[in-house]
Amino acid sequence: MSPVEVSAALGVDRPTVSTPGRHDDFFDVGVRTYYGDSRQLMCVAVDALRGPQVLLDGLPLVGRAPSELADQFEDYVNSQGARVCISLEGDPGWDDIGLQLRAQRAGDFLLTRPVFAAREWSHRIGDSSEGPLPQEEWAVR
Protein backbone atom coordinates (compact mmCIF):
# COMPACT_ATOMS: atom_id res chain seq x y z
CA MET A 1 0.00 0.00 0.00
CA SER A 2 1.44 3.37 -1.01
CA PRO A 3 1.25 6.56 1.08
CA VAL A 4 -1.52 7.87 -1.19
CA GLU A 5 -3.50 4.64 -0.72
CA VAL A 6 -2.99 4.85 3.06
CA SER A 7 -4.37 8.40 3.13
CA ALA A 8 -7.39 7.31 1.10
CA ALA A 9 -8.01 4.31 3.36
CA LEU A 10 -7.89 6.58 6.42
CA GLY A 11 -10.28 9.04 4.76
CA VAL A 12 -7.89 11.99 4.76
CA ASP A 13 -6.35 14.03 1.95
CA ARG A 14 -2.82 13.76 3.30
CA PRO A 15 -0.91 13.12 6.52
CA THR A 16 -0.65 15.82 9.17
CA VAL A 17 3.14 15.46 9.14
CA SER A 18 5.19 13.54 6.61
CA THR A 19 8.80 12.46 6.68
CA PRO A 20 9.17 11.27 3.07
CA GLY A 21 10.56 7.79 2.78
CA ARG A 22 10.22 7.14 6.51
CA HIS A 23 6.86 7.75 8.17
CA ASP A 24 3.61 9.69 8.07
CA ASP A 25 1.62 10.96 11.05
CA PHE A 26 -2.15 11.14 10.85
CA PHE A 27 -2.93 13.06 14.05
CA ASP A 28 -6.68 13.31 13.40
CA VAL A 29 -7.04 9.53 13.35
CA GLY A 30 -4.23 8.72 15.80
CA VAL A 31 -2.11 6.62 13.48
CA ARG A 32 1.53 6.68 12.41
CA THR A 33 2.58 4.71 9.36
CA TYR A 34 6.06 3.52 8.45
CA TYR A 35 7.28 2.66 4.97
CA GLY A 36 9.96 0.38 3.62
CA ASP A 37 12.58 1.11 0.99
CA SER A 38 10.01 0.68 -1.78
CA ARG A 39 7.70 3.28 -0.13
CA GLN A 40 5.19 0.55 0.62
CA LEU A 41 3.41 0.40 3.98
CA MET A 42 5.32 -1.84 6.37
CA CYS A 43 4.07 -0.85 9.80
CA VAL A 44 1.21 0.94 11.58
CA ALA A 45 1.36 2.30 15.13
CA VAL A 46 -1.88 3.25 16.87
CA ASP A 47 -1.63 6.19 19.27
CA ALA A 48 -2.65 5.28 22.82
CA LEU A 49 -4.60 8.51 23.32
CA ARG A 50 -5.98 9.44 19.89
CA GLY A 51 -6.04 6.20 17.95
CA PRO A 52 -8.99 3.96 17.19
CA GLN A 53 -9.62 0.95 19.38
CA VAL A 54 -8.25 -2.20 17.77
CA LEU A 55 -9.45 -5.63 18.87
CA LEU A 56 -7.60 -8.92 18.73
CA ASP A 57 -10.34 -11.53 18.77
CA GLY A 58 -12.36 -9.29 21.11
CA LEU A 59 -9.39 -8.18 23.23
CA PRO A 60 -9.01 -4.35 23.19
CA LEU A 61 -5.39 -3.38 22.51
CA VAL A 62 -5.32 0.45 22.49
CA GLY A 63 -5.06 2.74 25.51
CA ARG A 64 -4.92 0.04 28.17
CA ALA A 65 -2.75 -0.20 31.26
CA PRO A 66 0.19 -2.32 30.03
CA SER A 67 0.23 -4.48 33.17
CA GLU A 68 -3.47 -5.25 32.76
CA LEU A 69 -3.25 -6.12 29.08
CA ALA A 70 -0.01 -8.12 29.31
CA ASP A 71 -1.55 -11.05 31.18
CA GLN A 72 -4.64 -11.16 28.97
CA PHE A 73 -2.49 -10.91 25.85
CA GLU A 74 -0.18 -13.69 27.00
CA ASP A 75 -3.14 -15.94 27.82
CA TYR A 76 -4.59 -15.32 24.37
CA VAL A 77 -1.32 -15.90 22.51
CA ASN A 78 -0.68 -19.11 24.47
CA SER A 79 -4.22 -20.31 23.67
CA GLN A 80 -3.27 -20.00 20.00
CA GLY A 81 -0.31 -22.33 20.48
CA ALA A 82 2.19 -19.49 20.18
CA ARG A 83 4.42 -17.67 22.61
CA VAL A 84 4.83 -14.07 23.63
CA CYS A 85 8.15 -12.42 22.83
CA ILE A 86 9.38 -9.64 25.11
CA SER A 87 11.06 -6.67 23.43
CA LEU A 88 14.29 -5.11 24.60
CA GLU A 89 12.06 -2.38 26.04
CA GLY A 90 10.12 -4.97 28.07
CA ASP A 91 6.96 -4.87 25.96
CA PRO A 92 5.07 -8.04 24.99
CA GLY A 93 4.66 -8.96 21.36
CA TRP A 94 3.70 -11.73 18.99
CA ASP A 95 6.27 -11.98 16.22
CA ASP A 96 4.24 -14.54 14.26
CA ILE A 97 1.64 -11.90 13.41
CA GLY A 98 3.88 -8.83 13.66
CA LEU A 99 2.33 -7.26 16.75
CA GLN A 100 4.20 -5.37 19.46
CA LEU A 101 2.34 -3.83 22.42
CA ARG A 102 4.42 -0.77 23.23
CA ALA A 103 3.85 1.56 26.17
CA GLN A 104 3.20 5.25 25.57
CA ARG A 105 3.25 7.96 28.21
CA ALA A 106 -0.07 9.66 28.92
CA GLY A 107 0.67 12.25 31.59
CA ASP A 108 1.59 10.30 34.72
CA PHE A 109 0.40 7.01 33.23
CA LEU A 110 1.45 4.51 30.60
CA LEU A 111 -1.03 3.20 28.04
CA THR A 112 -0.69 0.58 25.33
CA ARG A 113 0.28 1.59 21.80
CA PRO A 114 0.00 -1.41 19.48
CA VAL A 115 2.37 -1.59 16.55
CA PHE A 116 1.50 -3.83 13.61
CA ALA A 117 4.15 -4.87 11.10
CA ALA A 118 4.04 -6.51 7.69
CA ARG A 119 5.47 -10.01 7.40
CA GLU A 120 8.80 -8.63 6.16
CA TRP A 121 9.19 -6.62 9.37
CA SER A 122 7.51 -8.98 11.84
CA HIS A 123 10.67 -10.93 12.61
CA ARG A 124 12.42 -9.15 15.47
CA ILE A 125 9.83 -6.35 15.63
CA GLY A 126 10.67 -5.94 19.32
CA ASP A 127 14.41 -5.53 18.74
CA SER A 128 15.01 -1.82 19.24
CA SER A 129 18.71 -2.06 18.40
CA GLU A 130 18.80 -4.14 15.21
CA GLY A 131 15.17 -4.81 14.30
CA PRO A 132 13.33 -3.33 11.33
CA LEU A 133 11.23 -0.81 13.25
CA PRO A 134 12.63 2.71 12.70
CA GLN A 135 14.17 4.56 15.62
CA GLU A 136 11.41 7.17 15.31
CA GLU A 137 8.99 4.63 16.76
CA TRP A 138 11.25 3.69 19.65
CA ALA A 139 11.54 7.40 20.49
CA VAL A 140 7.78 7.64 21.15
CA ARG A 141 7.30 7.63 24.89
CA trace torsion 112, 41, 125, 101 (10° rounding): 10
Convert 77-113 to b/e letters by CB count within 10 Å (16 or more is b): beeeeeebbebeeebbbbbeebbbbbbbeeeeebbbb
- What's the whole-model pTM score? 0.91
pLDDT band at 135 (very low <50, low <70, confident <90, very high): confident
Please name the residues in contact with 90: beta carbons below 8 A apart, sequence gap of 6 or more. none
pLDDT tens, 118-127?
988 888 777 7
pLDDT band at 138 (very low <50, low <70, confident <90, very high): confident
Q: Tell me if residue 119 falls in helix, strand or coil.
A: helix
pLDDT tens, 22-59?
899 999 999 999 998 888 999 999 999 999 999 999 99
Judging by DSSP bridges, how do beta strands 92-94 and 41-46 pair with one another? unpaired
Q: Where are the domains of the chain?
A: 3-138
